[in-house]
Structure 1
Amino acid sequence: MERTVKVWDPLVRLFHWSLVVSFAVAWLTADEWDVLHEWAGYAAAALIGFRLLWGLAGPRYARFRQFIRPPHAALDYIRASIRGDEPRYVGHNPAGAMMIVGLIVAMAGTALTGWMYTLDAFWGVEWVEETHELLANLMLIMVGVHVAGVILASLRHKENLVRAMINGRKRAPKTSDMA
């Protein structure tokens, strides 16, 4: 049996899957069930708020300072992936980290513009509705890219990253792996 290490704490995993559910519910109810759509948006906003705090105060692999790197690091990682020689990371790789930041920003913007649209001051304001829809559609594309990246990394590094986001464990690092 291969040795594993604990990487994703229970709150990161709960956040991740709860955000998946809240986004899916919000997306599927966008034009049909306004109340459920709004509550899914409020849930997403609360989850983002939690994740921002947990990114500052959570355990090692939850902390932003552990995985957020400069943009050039993500581009270098993507180039290495295209060549097929990207290193394995125990936590998030630089491209995954960039995606996390992008998803958090897009989800926060989607939730904010959705909430704004419920206010009398912004009801019927076209740019608010259009921005909300644009961000939601962008999120859908980003989620697709995220899932593709997870599949690619899982295959390349022979490690089931979906399972790791369920049980919190990944293969123990080798000397060639990045922390």
Structure 2
Amino acid sequence: MSSASSTPSGTIRVWDPLVRIFHWGLAGSFALAYVTAEDIRDVHEVAGYVAGALIASRIVMGFAGSPYARFRQFVRSPAHVVSYVGSMIRRRDPRYIGHNPLGGLMVMALILAMAGVALTGWLQTTDAYWGVEWVEETHEALANMMLAAVALHLFGVLFESIRHHENLVGAMISGRKRAPRPGDVL
């Protein structure tokens, strides 16, 4: 348990403040940008720039952040993800202290999609791409894909919270999860 500090209450610190700020900041900036897209252009753009900055910071954290924030901790091979899905279907999936293989896949999908949304949004503010139809269409398509991915993410969080008897939303607020038990994956 060297990468997480334990307490007498039976919990460990998993998500550091920067990860939690990133997570809730990205959720808020994406939601704000999505609801203001047609009506409040200045707010939409600022929210998009915030989301882009958060994505850039998350990429840095993926290589130089706390142990559970690093990509090497949760990015798994396709074979590992497929194996994990099989174990879920058989109801023998282990509890992961950090992201499970599907959660890691979702993190990467959300990072890449949000990076694409931010990039195509920024391109629309440049002289070279302002008013270019394919950029606008790509931006809108990626934003809608993000919305679908967020819905899938929320379903996965709810499913895993029930499956492993752990409040994952609370963990992303407090930064703490139940201490590892035998069979859990650090």
Q: Normalising to structure 1: TM-score of the pair? A: 0.97
Q: Equivalents in 1 of 2:83, 2:151: separation in Å? A: 21
Q: Equivalents in 2 of 1:41, 1:105: separation in Å? A: 14
What displacement does 1:75 show? 2.2
What are structure 1's unaligned runs of at least 5 residues?
A: none
Q: Which residue of 1 aligns with 2:4?
A: none
What are structure 2's unaligned runs of at least 5 residues?
A: 1-7
Q: Equivalents in 2 of 1:78, 1:134: separation in Å? A: 28
Among candidates 73, 98, 102, match of residue 95 of structure 1: 102
What displacement does 1:2 show? 5.5
Q: Which residue of 2 aligns with 1:171?
A: 178
Q: Which residue of 1 aligns with 2:3?
A: none
8 Å CA contact 1:103, 1:142 repeated in 2:
yes
Once the two structures are superposed, what CA deviation does each residue of 1:8-42 show, in whole Å capped at 9, x if it has no partner? 00110011000000000000001001110000000
Once the two structures are superposed, what CA deviation does each residue of 1:141-163 show, in whole Å capped at 9, x if it has no partner? 00000000000000000000000
Secondary structure at 2:177 match in 1? strand
Among candidates 126, 131, 134, match of residue 138 of structure 2: 131
Once the two structures are superposed, what CA deviation does each residue of 1:119-174 show, in whole Å capped at 9, x if it has no partner? 11111111100100010000000000000000000000000000000000001111
What displacement does 1:76 show? 2.0
Q: Equivalents in 1 of 2:87, 2:19: separation in Å? A: 27
Q: Equivalents in 1 of 2:10, 2:85: separation in Å? A: 28
The answer as to 2:42 corresponding to 1:70 is no
Among candidates 41, 48, 70, match of residue 34 of structure 1: 41
The answer as to 2:164 corresponding to 1:121 is no
Once the two structures are superposed, what CA deviation does each residue of 1:90-125 show, in whole Å capped at 9, x if it has no partner? 000000000000000000000000000111111111
Q: Which residue of 2 aligns with 1:143?
A: 150
Among candidates 155, 162, 171, match of residue 162 of structure 2: 155
RMSD between superposed Cα atoms in Å:
1.1
What displacement does 1:78 show? 2.1
Q: Letter of the aligned partner of 1:154 in structure 2?
A: S
Q: Equivalents in 2 of 1:150, 1:103: separation in Å? A: 14
Q: Equivalents in 1 of 2:41, 2:90: separation in Å? A: 46
The answer as to 2:19 corresponding to 1:49 is no
Q: Equivalents in 2 of 1:77, 1:141: separation in Å? A: 22
Q: Letter of the aligned partner of 1:131 in structure 2?
A: T
Q: Which residue of 2 aligns with 1:104?
A: 111
What displacement does 1:50 show? 0.4
The number of residue pairs the alignment matches comes to 179
Q: Which residue of 1 aligns with 2:10?
A: 3
